Amino acid sequence: MPRVSGVIPAAGEGTRLRPLTLAAPKHLISLLGKPMIGYPIEHLVEAGVSDITIVVGYLGHLIRGALGDGSSFGARLSYVTQEERLGIAHAIHLAIEEASIAGPFVVYLGDNILKGGIMRYLNRFLEGGYDVYILLARVRDPSRFGVAVLRDGRIVKLVEKPRHPISDLAVIGVYFFRDPDLVEKAFSTLKPSGRGEYEITELIQWFIDHGYNIGYETVSGWWKDVGTPQGLLEALYLLLDEVEPRLEGSVEGEVYGRVIVEEGAVVEGKVYGPAYIGRGSRVGPKAKVEHYVSLEPASHVASGTVTRSLLLEESLVDINSLRLVDSVIGRRARITCKRELYGTLQAALSDYSSVEI
């Protein structure tokens, strides 16, 4: 097997995830105790790809500080800075140019998560002798993605965010390339699109138009592009669907179903799985954590009920008899209620914010 390099574009500002991304890049939002970008890194390492270039931009110093040299993941990380957000194809160009990528490589977007990782797809790419290999997934709203048009089992055209439904096959955020020199040749022909970016679909279209060997596969498992608060919660639900129960912290209350209680966490109230209770987190005696909830490290539910929600690091929920649903609570944010109210709440709170009801 030839040596394969990895590239993870992670320069975006995450504007659709605001206010959660005002103080930190979206790639560091934690899901089940690890940053979002940790999933692509782990999937690359599992596939035998340990030399990985991270393309950073917005608040890139925070990504560098959080990931370091990659040794905690079993990877060797290097970093390239994309000063202007000029698209995925431009990020790939920078990685090739500045990280001296010399052989086959795989690009895995830092805000994408693919069930089961990429090992089988990497093997098919290498064994098939493809110049480019892409993954497709059927979607309900093709206008949000680049899509592939097929004819007689071959890709004939890629269109970025089509206005009219010409295909329901989205090109997902994992791409395999055999020859970085060819990628650079293709990039040299590109011009910025109407939104001012060098599009990955146009880059791959060059290979299609010039008769290169393009392979593809439609993924059967789930894939998530985490670009909005709702997408973030959907990714959480999908990840929680796969957890196996593990109780390493202190359970003084009651735990039902598939629940992870990490070391240093304390459960005094009730937790119904699937749920994740991170290191140093606390579920108070007056609190109930229901299905599809993740308490990231050192978060605290003092009172009330929480369901289908993500509580980021060191956040606090203390809402008496209220129910918090379909919500994302930022790092060190607080939502409290001092009165005896009943009903449901839904919130997306930025880091360090405070709401009192």
pLDDT digits (tens, 9 = 90+) for 39-54: 999 999 999 999 999 9
What pLDDT was estimated at residue 281? 97
**Which residues of the chain fall below pLDDT 50?**
none
**pLDDT one-digit tens code per residue, 277-319:** 999 999 999 999 999 999 999 999 999 999 999 999 999 999 9
CA angle 17, 19, 25 (to 5 degrees): 60
Taking the mean position of all CA atoms in its chain, how far away is CA 335?
A: 26
DSSP state letter for 330: -
- Global pTM reads 0.91
CA distance 204 to 158: 8
What pLDDT was estimated at residue 106? 97
Single out the residue of 138, 132, 53 nearest to residue 97, CA to CA.
53
**Domain covering 243-356: architecture:** 3 Solenoid (2.160)
CATH number of 5-239: 3.90.550.10
Task: Copy the structure tokens of residue 92.
Answer: 């790939």
CA distance 36 to 26: 8
Asked whether the beta carbons of 113 and 239 are under 8 A apart, the reply is yes
What pLDDT was estimated at residue 319? 96
CA distance 30 to 286: 26
Domain boundaries, the chain: 5-239, 243-356
Single out the residue of 224, 139, 128 nearest to residue 173, CA to CA.
224
CA angle 88, 191, 137 (to 5 degrees): 40
Asked whether the beta carbons of 48 and 356 are under 8 A apart, the reply is no
Domains 5-239 and 243-356 share a fold: no
Beta bridge partners of 105: 5, 177
